[in-house]
Amino acid sequence: MSEQSERKRVILSGIQPTGTFTLGNYIGAVRNWAKLQDQFNCLYMVADLHALTVRQDPAALRRNTREAAAMLLAAGIDPAQSILFVQSHVPAHTQLNWILCCNAQFGELSRMTQFKDKSAKHPDNVNGGLFTYPALMAADILIYNADLVPVGQDQTQHLELARNVAQRFNNAYSPTFTLPEGYVTKEGAKIMSLADPTHKMSKSDTNVNAFILLTDDRDTITRKFKRAVTDSDGVVRYDPANKPGVSNLIAIYHIFTGKSIEEVEREFDGQGYGVFKEAVGAAVADGLAPIQGEYARILADKAYVDGVLKEGAAAASRIADRMIQKVYRKVGLLQL
């Protein structure tokens, strides 16, 4: 077997500590991360620098960062198998960010829909970091030569940009970066808001009824699903184009119960939305309960969480520092 085929492929992904994780984050991204640990060399990161592209309260950001790490551990990321770290603890990411900013074009950055959406949402703070956000994300990925990046559908445009920048760099200098592929699962790649099922569920939504947080208790989960916006035809049928609210709930129920879409439709045939919503709430509450238990236990031991992050940062830095030296040399920065 050649050395190349023996090398375990590398996975990197990140999540912003902009608040408590939602069901969308869990289904679209985090749920898959633990499953990939046996098969791949995994690096998982709390993207605190990316969070700064939107104004953050310093104390809340610090708290959210530790809580995000604890939640990732609760969701099954095993520090004995994977490298778990905080983005700002590995300075090579920001070093590579600058090099990639100089290789990313204004035009391609201008086309990013997340930039357009977030600019519209925060018109008073359309900052440079928001604009170059994808270059830092490309740095996160390319610095480890990641092969696969498990994310939700909303991040595929950023991944495409990372590939383009990597390719451009490789052509301009010499082969340096692996071109990363997205790993977007078909199911649940985009969980929709419970208040407006034409928009994705987002943890920074100002309407708390729009999302389920992974820390929501059973009553809150039940209540939020009961209030979820559906439609008036009263039939539990999967049809995302015409019945986005009901289809979103079917997708969630399917993921938490393992029942196929057809089975779900049959199960609630002839029953009203009330019964269906109740069942979705119960399935989600049951599914999240073990994670919530673990989360409380892990978060109570701050020293443990911080210790994991410290070791993670050291392990990630060993890889990233080597790569940034190589890149600096290739672009012609003087080495002493």
By CB under 6 A, tell whether 288 contacts ligand LTN: no
Any idea of the CA torsion for 247, 249, 252, 255, to the nearest 10 degrees?
-60
> Residue 192 or residue 305: which is nearer to ligand ATP going by CB?
192
- Give the C-alpha separation, 98 to 214, whole Å: 35
Q: Smallest distance from the beta carbon of 191 to ligand ATP, in angstroms?
A: 4
Candidates 147-155, 244-252, 281-289, 292-300 — which segment interacts with ligand LTN by CB under 6 A? 147-155
Q: Report angle CA 250, 254, 257 to the nearest 5 degrees.
A: 130
Using the rule CB under 6 A, which residue among 31, 50, 163, 277 binds ligand LTN?
A: 50
Catalytic status, residue 118: yes
90 Cβ neighbours under 8 A, 6+ residues apart: 313, 316, 317, 320
Q: Report angle CA 129, 102, 48 to the nearest 5 degrees.
A: 30
Which residues of the shown chain bind ligand ATP in the complex (CB under 6 A)?
Answer: 15-16, 18, 22, 24-25, 27-29, 151-152, 154-155, 189-191, 200-204
Q: Smallest distance from the beta carbon of 146 to ligand LTN, in angstroms?
A: 8
By CB under 6 A, tell whether 84 contacts ligand LTN: no
Active-site entry in 8, 203, 224, 310 = 203
List, as one string, the DSSP characters of 262-284.
HHHHHHTTT--HHHHHHHHHHHH
Catalytic status, residue 203: yes
167 Cβ neighbours under 8 A, 6+ residues apart: 179
Q: Smallest distance from the beta carbon of 256 to ligand ATP, in angstroms?
A: 14
| Chain centroid, CA 74 distance in Å | 16
Chain residues binding ligand LTN by CB under 6 A are 12-16, 47, 50, 137, 140-141, 149, 151, 155, 158
Catalytic residue positions?
Answer: 118, 200, 203
